[in-house]
Amino acid sequence: MARHQPNARDGGWRGQSRVDGSRDRGAARLACYPPGVAPIGYLETGVIYCDDNLHRLSQFPADCIDLIYLDPPFFSNRHYEVIWGDEAEIRSFEDRWEGGIHVYVEWMRERVIELRRILKPTGTFYLHCDEHASHYLKVMLDEVFGRENFLNEIIWHYQTSSGAPKKWLHRNHDTIFRYAASRPALVTWNHPREPWPEATLRKWQHDEEGRVYRVQNKFDKRYYIDPAGKLADDVWEITLSSRTKERLGYPTQKPEALMEKIISASTDPGDIVLDPFCGCGTTLVAAQKLGRQWIGIDISPTAVDLERRRLVKVGATEVKLVGMPVTEAQLADLKPFEFQNWVINRMNGTHSPHKVGDMGIDGFSFMLHEPIQVKQSRAIGRNVVDNFETAVKRSGKNKGYIVAFSFGKGAYEEAARVKGADGLAITLLTVADLLEGKADLVTPETGLFGTDLPLPDPRSPDARPSVEELVASDTGQELGQVAESGEPYL
């Protein structure tokens, strides 16, 4: 029987579920325990791990997950994939690309082997991909799961607004491979339904109660259609409109309707859903709405923070994060783009549309669009405040923020002088201030609490660092241009 002693470093226990390692249904049973006293054999849910998923998955017990959905980074356009601008993301990205498609498939194989190990006998595995690697991944999946456990190739068909290409057919679909863990007959399956076509409803007859039916034999026997809809086939028409409220602007975001369809089909309420590449968090949000337990893994701290915010907005009362930077020392070790992402998101702000500081402006405050400058250093001096004063004036605002680990006496004196002489308010915030929630819980200008604030906007394509720039930052090369003060932008 598979047992699992959770790592004590993971902290408190919020949604532990009993894991039955036998080869039967293995259903999860909820139980909660205070920190440090959870019995052996319990798996914690309601957790997002900021980690390399291969490392984290190796710590999971066998046969513990009901549904695994993964939407891994596609083997396609390189710049398109660098979404978050995190150092951890780019290291993982380079691992996949160095060596071409075969290395990418082997990179995926290691993770799929672990995922099959932790999938319950009644569980289902879904892998989302596109045409760049789907054929290679299908062969690999057959080898890991066995061809006899292949269930479906689902085509997700959507509409795009771009113009028709000249020499090839327009690409309007992704592929989702569905596999059983061991025996197809064991999997949980609630066949999804779709609305009946309008043409069908118009063609058939309606009785006095409004029910739709047709007559197919000489005895005038009525055959009523199921009001729940027709049984879905393997082509799913689901579109994420660019104007819908759930649209966050991240290029790989999937619609909640797609995830709800998958989760409803392959799990029952209370089952455990795992997304090892949870990105924007759509899988976790859909699972939360449908009353399922969930676990997420993503290597990007920026992505994990967004996932937490989305889950809180849909009613998740406790979201535990493991592996996120939570101390000044850990934040000081982040690469420049990671640190800048952390600060701007922590302040509920928006990123500058430029890749590096625009006259020292790295982002803007929520709603009032007041400039924010981020400095990943200590003992910030008078000259930084003086230069930022010019940037704030050019922005047309009378208030701005500088965030750093600490400020020298001269910085505070200069901020006070600027306010007295020009009426310009430059607020100096330390990283400790942000960690303590002084700029996170309430936005003074609006009085809105964190759960009421909008989700952070992504970096625009022009503001995302390139692969080369992030690799350069990993080797210690300078990243960004030089400010007027002669200091490199951080």
Q: DSSP per residue over 243-262, as a string?
A: TSTT----TT---HHHHHHH
Per the DSSP assignment, residues forming a β-bridge with 372 are 363, 401
For residues 142 and 18, state if they share a domain: yes
d(Cα 138, Cα 131) in Å, to the nearest integer?
Answer: 11
Q: Write 1-8 long-range contacts (CB < 8 A, 24+).
A: 2/61, 2/62, 2/63, 2/64, 3/40, 3/41, 3/61, 4/40, 4/41, 4/42, 4/43, 4/59, 4/60, 4/61, 4/64, 5/40, 6/38, 6/42, 6/43, 6/44, 7/59, 8/36
CA 361 from chain center: how many Å? 27
For residues 408 and 266, state if they share a domain: no
In a domain, 490, yes or no: no
Q: Evaluate whether 232 touches 157 at the Cβ level (below 8 Å).
A: no
- What are phi and psi for residue 449, nearest 5 degrees? -85, 165
For residues 379 and 272, state if they share a domain: no
Last residue of a domain, one of 273, 302, 322: 322
The C-alpha angle 128, 130, 133, rounded to 5 degrees, equals 100
For residues 77 and 174, state if they share a domain: yes
Per the DSSP assignment, residues forming a β-bridge with 425 are 399
Which secondary structure element, helix H or strand E, spans residue 123, and what is its range?
strand 119-129
Residues of the chain short of pLDDT 70, as ranges, are: 1-41, 75-99, 161-165, 205, 208, 210, 213-220, 223, 240-252, 355-358, 439-490
- CATH code of 374's domain: 3.40.91
Dihedral of the alpha carbons of 57, 59, 64, 65, in degrees to the nearest 10: -20
- CATH code of 310's domain: 3.40.50.150
For residues 384 and 271, state if they share a domain: no
In a domain, 3, yes or no: no
Q: Evaluate whether 438 touches 411 at the Cβ level (below 8 Å).
A: no
pLDDT the model gives residue 196: 80
Dihedral of the alpha carbons of 393, 398, 399, 404, in degrees to the nearest 10: 20
For residues 219 and 273, state if they share a domain: no
Last residue of a domain, one of 301, 322, 343: 322
Q: How far is CA 237 from CA 156, 168, 194, 257, 484, in A?
A: 6, 22, 10, 10, 53
Task: Provide the 10 A C-beta neighbour count for residue 452.
Answer: 11
pLDDT the model gives residue 252: 61
Q: Evaluate whether 286 touches 309 at the Cβ level (below 8 Å).
A: no
CA 417 from chain center: how many Å? 44
d(Cα 50, Cα 303) in Å, to the nearest integer?
Answer: 9
Q: Evaluate whether 456 touches 85 at the Cβ level (below 8 Å).
A: no
For residues 48 and 130, state if they share a domain: yes
Residues 6 or more apart whose CB falls under 8 angstroms from that of 243 comprise: none
In a domain, 466, yes or no: yes
Residues 6 or more apart whose CB falls under 8 angstroms from that of 303 comprise: 83, 84, 86, 89, 278, 279, 280, 281
Residue 66: domain span: 8-190+232-322
d(Cα 449, Cα 377) in Å, to the nearest integer?
Answer: 29
Q: How many CA atoms lie within 13 A of 212 on its CB side?
A: 16
Tokens for 172, please give them.
Answer: 């309007």
First-to-final CA distance of the chain: 51
In a domain, 134, yes or no: yes
pLDDT the model gives residue 69: 98
The DSSP call for residue 193 is: E
Which secondary structure element, helix H or strand E, spans residue 387, and what is its range?
helix 382-395
Q: How many CA atoms lie within 13 A of 345 on its CB side?
A: 21
**Residue 214 is which amino acid?**
R
Q: Evaluate whether 271 touches 190 at the Cβ level (below 8 Å).
A: no
Q: How many domains does the chain have?
A: 3
d(Cα 373, Cα 389) in Å, to the nearest integer?
Answer: 11
In a domain, 111, yes or no: yes
**SS3 assignment, position 429:** strand
pLDDT the model gives residue 218: 64
Nearest to 382 by CA among 481, 487, 478, 489: 487
For residues 274 and 185, state if they share a domain: yes
**SS3 assignment, position 241:** coil
For residues 186 and 332, state if they share a domain: no
Please tell me the pTM assigned to this model: 0.75
d(Cα 263, Cα 126) in Å, to the nearest integer?
Answer: 10
The model's pLDDT over 191-233, given as tens digits with 9 standing for 90+, comes to: 999 988 877 777 776 776 768 766 666 666 776 777 777 899 9
In a domain, 482, yes or no: no
Q: Write 193-200 long-range contacts (CB < 8 A, 24+).
A: 193/226, 193/228, 193/229, 193/230, 193/231, 193/232, 194/229, 194/230, 194/231, 194/232, 195/229, 195/230, 196/225, 196/229, 196/230, 200/225
Tokens for 379, please give them.
Answer: 């003992």
d(Cα 270, Cα 251) in Å, to the nearest integer?
Answer: 31
For residues 90 and 200, state if they share a domain: no
Torsional sign, CA 280, 283, 284, 290: positive
Last residue of a domain, one of 270, 295, 322: 322
Tell me the residue length of the chain.
490
For residues 242 and 125, state if they share a domain: yes
In a domain, 315, yes or no: yes
In a domain, 483, yes or no: no
The DSSP call for residue 457 is: P
pLDDT the model gives residue 391: 92
For residues 225 and 372, state if they share a domain: no
